[in-house]
Structure 1
Amino acid sequence: MLNVPERPLSSTRPVKNRPTTLVQWLDQVIDLPQVRVQVRLRGNNLYILCEGQECPLRSLLLLRVVRALAETNLERFVPNSQPQVYQVLLYGRSLGQVRPAWADVIYLNQLDRYLEKLQKGASVARSGLTDDTPTSSLAIANIQLAKQGRPDAIARYLSEFLNALGVAVRATVKTVPSRQGTPDHSRLWVMCESIYSPDASLMAESIAQKLRDLELSGFQDAIVFSQVHGEPQPEWTLRVDLTPPDEMLKEWARWGDAEAISRLLGRTCDKTIRASATLKDTTLHVSCTGSPAPDQKRAIAAIQPLLNAIAPQGIQSATVYGATAGQGDKTAPDDTPAWVEWLNLPASIHTALADSTHWLAEKGDIPAIAYLLTRLLNPDLDRQLATGGIRIQVRQKEDLLHIMADAPLCPPQNRVGTAVAQFLKPLDIPGVAGVRIYGRRAGQVRPAWSYGADFGVRDRLVPAATPEFAASDEYVGDLLTESGELTRRSDLTSNDLQAALSRLLESVQGLLTRSQLFVVSASSNQTLDAKPGISHPTKLAFVWGTLGLLLTVQSDWILGQLLKPTVEPMKPTPIAVVSPSPNVSDEIKLPQLSLQKPGIGRGEAFNGSGFTQSGQTVLSTDDRSPSPNSIAEAPIAKALAAAQLQQKAVVDAARSPYPTFNARQLDEKLVLYRQYVEKSGAPDVLIMGSSRAMRGIDPTALQQALATQGYSGLKVFNFGVNGATAQVIDLIVRRILPAEKMPKMIIWADGSRALNSGRVDVTYNAIAVSQGFKKLPNDPSPPAIAAVPTPVPESSLTQSLGTISSTNSVVADSYQAVNTWLNQSLANLSSTYNQRESLKTLFQHEVASGLKLTPSADHDADLTIAQDGQGLIDVNGFLPISNRFNPATYYQKYSRVAGNSDGDYADFRLEGGQAEAIASLAKFTQSQKIPLVFINLPLSGEYLDSVRQEHEQAFQQYMLRASAELGFTYRNLGEEWKMENDFFSDPSHLNRYGAFAVSDHIAKDPLIPWIKR
């Protein structure tokens, strides 16, 4: 451990100024020029190695170091991030030696004893300050302090064995208020910190045993956290039951446990008396042996009060025997006892105590069932008292027993589940038709495994929900989740349901028929009375058509009158008298605003040459001009860097020459990509992905950042499509984009949601049934979309998308001309057409506000951004959103969606169709020599709850494995900036400021194989 020099001292001795580091301080303390000092901090220990040409003298070093430690606060030289030092280990050896010649341990809380020993002149040359045995006086003193409940002493006590694992320990004590009628109790909090994450199986049981050995009084439990240094959350949590052994024995003895009673008798009786107990039927037989035979009165005086206080369940009497121990075996009594005493116990008087524990369990007594299961799963009483054993909690919900078994190490399912089910089934408990058993490590909330067994046929609509058991005894009686189970109505039959459905269909059919818009089919057996006089379909159609036309004209006229602007007559304006000295400040009150840009430091505004940096601007997130009052009240938003806004794209998917793919945004992006290619040529870098990619990477910012890294002149286009999954990306790249217009590099920016094969791929399924998909070639080589060749017959399925577009464009232009003429003709007749924007605004503000419609999810928030970016996408395909995510206001407008209710993570599974699409895309890009890079885009901390975090971790492992196997580059930014809400427009989408940060970050990433023109 100390063979590798960490901080060797210089051979030249510095002047003895005030030391600033630990090594400098030790150098001055030891003050031996020929001795070199090295230190290491590990856990709660400080290791000091002193070596020289000759081994340093042990007594001299101990004397100087102990005196210095007594006079100096060692924490001055220890970093704030380092845990408190509890003990110092001092070593001495000669240079070149592997093992130290001597070693000594200095407990920092026992420095006064060390000084006393040194001042008396005791020899420490050989034995050191402490004995070699663990039962030395100093070690015993530490244990005694820990048994008093002092947190610093408990931490030192635990660190003695945890330091071997490199684990530092801190301890605190907090008072936990109890329920009414019970006194408050203390809870011990233990924090174990290390540079790695030790498995719970290595530490949990040892920690539990060490803490229980202290037999702390006034403590109910201890909570132990294991945390990696620098991480915000603990890796695992452990709960240790600190109930004293005597109290645990009394609790089991109350249920008539003979072994527990025997141990209590042994602790109560005189040391000269050996007491043991056995149970036969309802009588407890107590044997008291000694040499000579114990005194009868003394023995009964000790035993009878204890048994009366315990009042064991189902034990009505006790027979006490006094005997002399045998000569060969002092623990074996002679055949004939010296005396016998009969005792009546409380169960013989109180009928509530007369029934046995087993009989109570058969009648459904929950505490009795819990006790019997506890003893069943803890056959070794010594082990249970040492570690706390397996704790059992029992709950009954309707006809099911729910049993939770927890221990410092999670109880094995194959041992616990079957044993509990086999024990409970013969009891035949009334009202119980099955059992559900769960196992977990003590301190966890959710079970690690579950096991179920039904004792009979159970008629249920859906399975019962798993209850959650409290992790602490403080709330052991509470279920954290209420039952919401559906029940079956036994009085309903299939005939009742069929009759109700028939009546409903008849009512709907009659309503539609009476409207005269529908008639009963000839095959129908039902006869409905029709009104006479309207039996001809032609006349009926003419009447309804006329009424509809009149209603349309009337509605158009009424709406036109409502939307007509009212012109008020001009009122004469009185002539104002001009004062000789007008006060401008009384008429216009300007807000006190600074003309300086907020948040821009001098070092950020100018580069090294003295000119302002290029490529980024600082913009406000709100273009509206606030009122003076709002300026005074609202806080100034933090200025963030973003690329300059580009010209908005003008795309009309309805006039696209390509057949539709049943995805409006994909249709628009195809048209926009064609425009980009015709103007600038094929892009060098193509960004693919869903709406997260469309908002998450800014092509302009990426181009500028790449230029500063030496990749100037690269063209970047964002082909993000809302809802695009791996199957959609594979389809676009391999079968839709033209081979001659392929990019030189593909950046796929998305996350785990795009690769979830468990949910329904709505976007791909819609594309798969579209006209455009049906006319795609089966050959995996991509068809052309940029050029428009001469038309070919449409029956050919191998024609390119460009050929399809040529035929469709001719037909589309003809229909468009007719459509334009009809629109212009009807617009001249309508009084509302020219005011349709006003009508839309009126409808949105009046009708929507009257209905009080409120979105309820993150996806609903996306719809407010101009219908998924329609009209806001720039010419490079990027959707710049300036909104900043503010959880305080966002969740007032939209409801919070938990991860277990998020449809994007429904039935989360990474193996399946999406995984096959990734493999297909990776193989294709490799064959085309196009680098493929997957960027896992950031998510906000508000979005990453425990359920989503678990799926994201599984996604990380899958992508690391897939990238190595399939040969593409994977970069993980999932938790970057997760606490920077200003970089997000909603919980899962970046805004233009976040897109700028991501673009700048990936441009500087040395692991991304950027290309040069």
Structure 2
Amino acid sequence: MLNVPERPPSSIKPAETRLSLVQWLEQVIDSPQVRVQVRSRGNNLYILCEGQTCPPRSPLLLRVVQALAKTNLERFIADDQPQVYQVLLYGRVLGQPHPDWAEVIYLNQIDRYLEKLQKVPARSVSLTDDTPSSSLAIANIRLAKQGRPDAIARYLSESLNSLGVAVRASVKTIPSKDGELDHSRLWVMCESAYSPDASLMAESIAQKLRDLELTGFESAIVFSQVHGELQPDWTLRVDLTPPDEMLKAWARWGDPAAISRLLDRTFDQQIHASATLKDTTLHISCVGENAPDQRRVIAAIKLLLETIAPQGIQSAAVYGVEAPTDSSKLQPSEPDSPAWVEWLNLPASIHPALSDSTHWLAEKGDIPAIAFLLSRLLNPDLDRQLATGGIRIQVRQKEDLLHIMADAPLCPPQNRVGTAIARFLKPLDIPGVAGVRIYGRRAGQARPAWSYGADFGFRDRIVPAATPEFAASDEYVGDLLTESGELTRRPDLTADDLRVALNRLLESMQGILTRSQLFVVETPSHRSLDAKPRMAQNTKLALVWGTLGLLLTVQSDWILGQLLKPKTEPKPTAIATVSPAPVISDEITLPQISLQKPGIGRGDAFNGSGFTQSGQTVLSTDDPSPTPAITGAPTAKALAAAQLQQKAVVDATRSPYPTFNARQLDEKLVLYRQYIEKSGAPDVLVVGSSRAMRGIDPAALQQALAAQGYPGLKIFNFGVNGATAQVVDLIVRRLLPAEKMPKLIIWADGSRAINSGRVDVTYNAIAVSQGFKKIPIDSSSAIASAPTPPEPESSVTTSLGTISSTNSVVADSYQTVNTWLNQSLANLSSTYDQRESLKTLFQRGVASGFKSHPNSEQDTDLTISQDGQGLIDVNGFLPISNRFNPATYYQKYSRVAGNSDSDYADFRLEGRQSAAIASLAAFTQSQKIPLVFINLPLSGEYLDSVRRNHEQAFQQYMLRTSAELGFTYRNLAEEWKTEHDFFSDPSHLNRYGAFAVANHIAKDPLIPWAKR
């Protein structure tokens, strides 16, 4: 019995169509005691007939079938709705949950139904009285095996209707090359009201299509699409190569299991053949109830093996065996007492090219042999491979690497496929191959879903090779792309349209300025005699308002200065006291003193913008007794981290370089200069934004690489807060000295640094700085390598021989005056020194709507350094010990949704940032410096639906761009998304997360680490 759903499916037809169809059915049934309900799901039409007593099956079924034979149901179905392949007719008592009877009517077999019903009209008849595989269903499968697309669609619809999926099918002829026969490709469109996951449908669709054993078809392309949308959600490619052809291809490589299947298909059911391979001899046992006829069996086997010519099999021993009474005693290899034995010489014994085994060919680097062995390795179940197509292997060799693509109806799992292939290939010791790169995807996808790499020895490559292209199908890749719609052009704007739009814009701006009471509309007037008195009156009015404005400015500055001034505790007054002289024999005991930062492990070390407090160093004695205030506090779990390094001492105000309007960049330039003067150029340079500065610990990475066989590498973290792709490109190409370039550049960041849609505040500030104006065009004379600039010469000794030099001096004079005025006003202002705190207070006030005044704790937060000044170590790393706790973090800081995050505003990957990526990649390739982009981890709290969609788009973009531009991309965005202890805030790692990242990437064979 089929259960009728109590609620209409989501793909129910419009009300008007349903009513017209119901009215037609009521006329057909012609029984006022029967109530009719109609629903549709997928390609099925469900008709429920119910009454006070169950409607009789036979007369109701006869009337419906006769009506369906005369009427086309498409007249009741909307044009945009799926075609109906089956009608399911139910009968039940009104109010009962389950039907009393059910019938399935195939619309393409309606004539057979009618013929059957008209033969026995008197008694109760059912269309499903036959066996479950009724003749009508068998006839439908027979039509599908013939390659008829309508029958194939009905055949697939039978299993997909339960998911609410409608199916359409069509056939496209593909012209063959080199004069071969044309073959066909099957196109299957699956439509539904939602987007079913590929894991629910892909393998079952592949198996059903392959069960048809279609001839003349190369493959099938399956699209899953939501009803009403233009683009498919996912695509699947199904290999429709017939099983016999697949078995012959495997037998060609000497696979005994495939040869056994072919022999079994050659003989009738009375003879069972099995084969095993020993050395270069194939042992074939032919078992029958009686001893098989030797001449007939040998002729069939000889013809098959000579046609196939299996690789590496030089002879065959054929045994004729009479089946024992106990079937468990059947021997797959040579039997103990055969009825007869025949020896055959095979083509491999004559032709030297066939004499070598497949395994030997793979050891010599034969790509087809390697592909076959890997295919059999990953498809141990031959029946399953024949049923679904199994895991398909494509192999490409590029330089000293083997690139292997594994695809299947369901994406092969990385942990099983990647390690298995690497373990299999390493012992082969293929000449010229030093490593393998393995990729996995669902069949039909253009890009890999995952990648895995392993090196078989030390590889000292300078620039990593780009990933080769693996087509979704070996040929006709363009068939997978849907045709784009026609472009539509809007009519050109006329001059009148532009003039009207400009006038409206000016009128709007004029209205806004007038309503502000600061501007009035100027009325035309003629010059009059009272012009001078009016001018004097306007001058006095301007002086009065100017004085008031100046007083208001001074008063506001003084008040803000008092509010922002940090509160200091009064110093205790020293009081002189007289104490008795100490006894010399008394032992002086000193407390065990330790230095520690206050607030370590708490979320209050971060202000609203996500940067770190500098904190105060305090002295405390190590007292083992518990403190009552924290007796019941939970104990944080111990996490691994590298040892803290010495803090850097950098004063950007004394930098010999001109400022770049970014204090942290100024400091990192000085720190990098100190680093190369002391240790030389780093072997590995980490660049990026604050996520890189806090996300990769050079000390931890150095330690992890030493454990992997790369000892003594020098690593420096050049992360700069707010650094985008443009800033990173500027640092690497124009600020770093050419003679002090690293051997490897690790760019650690994420999609926010590549968003070309948002305003690049950091780069824009750098672009108007004095330091940017003085950057030499030639990177060999970069700023970071320049010595301390000499003092400018006196104007008396400087020759002003040209007009251009005079203009330069005048411009410098204006700049000097402007600087003097700025410094003078800064000395008079009480707020200037606290401008960063004022900006933070203003940002918090805007974010919270000025709901409350900052308390003492918030006042302390306002004094926090905005970029970790004073906490950065000598390697450029910013170690943060705070652990992200969502329960407490969002009590202090508001949760920012992805659609309100300015870092993702107008998210666009093509633009200025992508141009900077291309520029940086070209530069590193010209310098033979490997470039590796690491997408750093993000917490699950941060990855809401909006950000996750942007991250997925970024992931696809970087996979494509890295292959095109020749750099390495590694994705760790969701590696530790549930490990909150690895984060200091939702999007930044702490020192424990930086330690985990360092250990992870040190073991990644796709990153070309180079030994010193």
TM-score (norm 1): 0.51
CA separation in 2, counterparts of 1:373 and 1:640?
72
CA contact (8 A) 1:922 1:932 kept: no
CA separation in 2, counterparts of 1:420 and 1:378?
12
CA contact (8 A) 1:3 1:98 kept: no
CA contact (8 A) 1:934 1:971 kept: no
Counterpart AA for 1:758: A
CA contact (8 A) 1:19 1:25 kept: no
CA contact (8 A) 1:6 1:38 kept: no
Residue number among 831, 848, 854 corresponding to 1:797 in the alignment: 831
Q: Helix, strand or coil for the counterpart of 1:32?
A: coil
Shift of 1:332: 2.1
Single out whichever of 641-650 and 69-78 deviates more from structure 2: 641-650
Shift of 1:227: 1.0
Report Cα offsets for 1:949-988 as digits up to 9, x if no partner. Answer: xxxxx99998894999xxxxx999xx9xxxxxxxxxxxxx
Shift of 1:236: 1.0
CA separation in 1, counterparts of 2:938 and 2:440?
27
Q: 2:435: which partner in 1?
A: 434
CA spacing shift, 1:152–1:925, aligned 2, 3 Å: closer
Q: 2:800: which partner in 1?
A: none
Q: 1:99: which partner in 2?
A: 98
Q: 1:419: which partner in 2?
A: 420
CA contact (8 A) 2:754 2:914 kept: no
Shift of 1:66: 0.8
Counterpart AA for 2:111: D
Shift of 1:329: 2.3
Q: 1:316: which partner in 2?
A: 314
Shift of 1:178: 2.6
Q: Helix, strand or coil for the counterpart of 2:828?
A: coil
Q: 1:591: which partner in 2?
A: none
CA contact (8 A) 2:82 2:166 kept: yes
Q: Helix, strand or coil for the counterpart of 2:228?
A: coil
Q: 1:47: which partner in 2?
A: 46
CA contact (8 A) 1:445 1:471 kept: yes
Shift of 1:130: 2.4
CA separation in 1, counterparts of 2:174 and 2:507?
56
CA spacing shift, 1:312–1:19, aligned 2, 3 Å: closer
Query: Within the alignment, does 1:399 sit opposite 2:400 as a pair?
Result: yes
Single out whichever of 114-123 and 308-317 deviates more from structure 2: 114-123
CA contact (8 A) 1:293 1:324 kept: yes
Q: 1:113: which partner in 2?
A: 112
CA separation in 2, counterparts of 1:314 and 1:476?
35
Q: 1:263: which partner in 2?
A: 261
Alignment of 1:113-152 (within 5 A): 113-121=112-120, 125=124, 128-131=126-129, 133-152=131-150
Q: Helix, strand or coil for the counterpart of 1:758?
A: helix
Q: 1:296: which partner in 2?
A: 294
Counterpart AA for 2:343: W
CA separation in 2, counterparts of 1:451 and 1:244?
32
Shift of 1:793: 5.6
Q: 1:274: which partner in 2?
A: 272
Q: 2:461: which partner in 1?
A: 460
Q: 2:64: which partner in 1?
A: 65
CA contact (8 A) 2:43 2:84 kept: yes
Q: Helix, strand or coil for the counterpart of 1:646?
A: helix
Single out whichever of 80-89 and 325-334 deviates more from structure 2: 325-334
Residue number among 242, 245, 254 corresponding to 1:244 in the alignment: 242
Counterpart AA for 1:378: N
CA separation in 1, counterparts of 2:386 and 2:254?
18
Shift of 1:643: 10
Q: Helix, strand or coil for the counterpart of 2:327?
A: coil
Shift of 1:757: 4.1
Shift of 1:27: 1.8
Q: 2:78: which partner in 1?
A: 79
CA separation in 2, counterparts of 1:406 and 1:121?
54
CA separation in 1, counterparts of 2:913 and 2:901?
27
Counterpart AA for 2:116: K
CA separation in 2, counterparts of 1:217 and 1:204?
21
CA separation in 1, counterparts of 2:763 and 2:912?
28
CA separation in 2, counterparts of 1:124 and 1:81?
41
Alignment of 1:229-240 (within 5 A): 229-240=227-238
CA spacing shift, 1:236–1:640, aligned 2, 3 Å: farther
CA separation in 2, counterparts of 1:40 and 1:151?
25
Shift of 1:183: 2.3
CA spacing shift, 1:191–1:769, aligned 2, 3 Å: closer
CA separation in 2, counterparts of 1:143 and 1:208?
16
Structure 1 vs Structure 2: percent identity of aligned residues? 67
Alignment of 1:688-703 (within 5 A): none
CA spacing shift, 1:648–1:956, aligned 2, 3 Å: farther
Q: 1:169: which partner in 2?
A: 167
CA contact (8 A) 1:191 1:227 kept: yes
Report Cα offsets for 1:390-440 as digits up to 9, x if no partner. Answer: 110000001110001111111111111111111111111111111111111
Shift of 1:624: 9.2
Residue number among 733, 743, 753 corresponding to 1:758 in the alignment: 753
Q: 2:36: which partner in 1?
A: 37
Alignment of 1:296-695 (within 5 A): 296-329=294-327, 332=330, 335-474=336-475, 620=493, 622=495, 646-647=509-510
Shift of 1:474: 2.4
For structure 2, the 5+ residue unaligned runs are 10-15, 482-489, 514-544, 550-607, 611-724, 727-748, 770-824, 839-879, 918-936, 954-1012
Shift of 1:924: 9.0
CA spacing shift, 1:202–1:457, aligned 2, 3 Å: same
CA separation in 1, counterparts of 2:208 and 2:304?
29
Counterpart AA for 1:21: S
CA spacing shift, 1:924–1:404, aligned 2, 3 Å: closer
CA contact (8 A) 1:925 1:932 kept: no
CA spacing shift, 1:256–1:932, aligned 2, 3 Å: closer
Q: 1:185: which partner in 2?
A: 183
Q: Helix, strand or coil for the counterpart of 2:438?
A: strand
CA contact (8 A) 2:752 2:903 kept: no
Shift of 1:472: 0.8
- Higher RCO (C-alpha 8 Å, min separation 6): 2
Report Cα offsets for 1:60-94 as digits up to 9, x if no partner. Answer: 21111111111111111111221111000111111
Shift of 1:122: 5.1
TM-score (norm 2): 0.51
CA contact (8 A) 2:317 2:344 kept: yes
For structure 1, the 5+ residue unaligned runs are 8-16, 481-597, 600-618, 627-636, 651-673, 679-725, 729-751, 772-790, 805-910, 949-953, 965-969, 976-1013
CA separation in 1, counterparts of 2:236 and 2:374?
22
CA spacing shift, 1:327–1:642, aligned 2, 3 Å: farther
In the alignment of these two chains, the number of paired residues is 589
Counterpart AA for 2:108: N
CA contact (8 A) 1:274 1:331 kept: no
CA separation in 1, counterparts of 2:949 and 2:338?
82
CA separation in 2, counterparts of 1:181 and 1:386?
31
CA separation in 2, counterparts of 1:142 and 1:353?
45
Q: 1:879: which partner in 2?
A: none
CA spacing shift, 1:65–1:228, aligned 2, 3 Å: same
CA separation in 2, counterparts of 1:397 and 1:33?
77
CA contact (8 A) 2:17 2:77 kept: no
Counterpart AA for 1:145: L
Q: 1:653: which partner in 2?
A: none
Report Cα offsets for 1:923-964 as digits up to 9, x if no partner. Answer: 89999xxx999999878999999999xxxxx99998894999
CA separation in 1, counterparts of 2:200 and 2:45?
23
Q: 1:203: which partner in 2?
A: 201
CA separation in 2, counterparts of 1:327 and 1:295?
19
CA spacing shift, 1:956–1:83, aligned 2, 3 Å: farther
Counterpart AA for 2:151: A
Report Cα offsets for 1:497-533 as digits up to 9, x if no partner. Answer: xxxxxxxxxxxxxxxxxxxxxxxxxxxxxxxxxxxxx
Aligned-residue CA RMSD (Å): 5.3
CA separation in 1, counterparts of 2:300 and 2:750?
72
